[in-house]
Amino acid sequence: MMACRYLWLIASACLTTALHAPHRRGATLPRRATAAYASVAAESPASADAPVASSVEHVLAADAPPLVLADHDVAPLAAKEALPPADAPPLADAAVAPVEAPASSFIDRHPLAAKSLSMGITYGLADTAAQFFGRVAHGEIVPLALRLRRGVSLSLVGCLAVGPLLAAWFDSLERLVPGKNKRAIFARTVLDQAIEVPVMISIIFSLSSLAEGHGLAFCLAKIQSKLLKTWRDCVGVWFPVQFVNQGFVPLKYRVIFQAVISFFWDAYLSIVSHA
């Protein structure tokens, strides 16, 4: 009996020493010591071991430092908690391109049609003004059918020829001489007056004459007799206008701007062409 008590005291002392020893990071109580303590406690009588059990309970009740898991044990747990659920939808790409707002205006949805129609309406109104001027200033009496044919033909010239050509020409000028500095604006204006103006004058003279029933010989004769004078007058009027147009008007509105100013110029062209 005494031998069992001595063995129990020795086991209790070992357990107390293990509990009071400095804890290493990630250290735990050895399984063999725990099993030995459990077996001795089960074999010893409860009446003989009461003082020892009370001392052991006192030791266990002491504020022992908490056990701390090692980094290699904590890191996998943290990584596992950070992972999204298996059934979670995939994250969207952060670099998603912004959705462009749909075009609202007619010129944004149909740029070529808007520019062509603007030139066609301008040419028709300009020819109507020119006919009115001819009747008031010179007393011209023209049959209604001929007046309608002349106005419709010039409107078609503006809508089907001048408008699309001007749109393509301004786009080409912007690609050829880009920029908003004075040098680029001046270069685009000079190219416009040197190339586009004589071509447009010739197109207007030819197509309007053909639409009225004249032949190619009549068209060539009109161009030879009136092109240089009309071109000279055009440069005097359109050079400052085109400088403003190329420098301050956005590209998509340049044909519209020219159509507004062209009302007066086209009325003059119609008067010269039918003189």
List the pLDDT tens digit at each of the 275 positions of the chain: 555 565 666 666 655 555 555 444 444 444 544 444 445 445 544 444 444 445 444 444 445 455 554 555 455 555 455 555 555 555 444 445 555 555 578 888 889 999 999 999 998 898 888 888 888 877 778 788 888 888 888 899 889 988 999 999 999 999 999 998 999 999 999 999 999 999 988 988 888 888 778 889 999 998 999 899 889 888 888 899 999 999 999 998 999 998 888 888 878 777 776 66
The pTM for the full model equals 0.56
Q: Which of 117, 148, 115 is nearest to 131 (CA)?
A: 148
DSSP single-letter state for residue 212: T
For residues 114 and 251, is the Cβ–Cβ distance under 8 A? no
∠ CA 13-18-24 to the nearest 5 degrees? 165
The helix/strand/coil state of 92 is coil
Six-digit token string for 119: 């030139």
Task: Give the contacts of 120 (CB within 8 A, at least 6 positions apart).
Answer: 155, 156, 158, 159, 160, 163
Cα–Cα distance measured from residue 144 to residue 140, given in angstroms and rounded to the nearest whole number: 12
Question: Half-sphere exposure of residue 192, counting CA atoms within 13 Å on the CB side?
Answer: 33
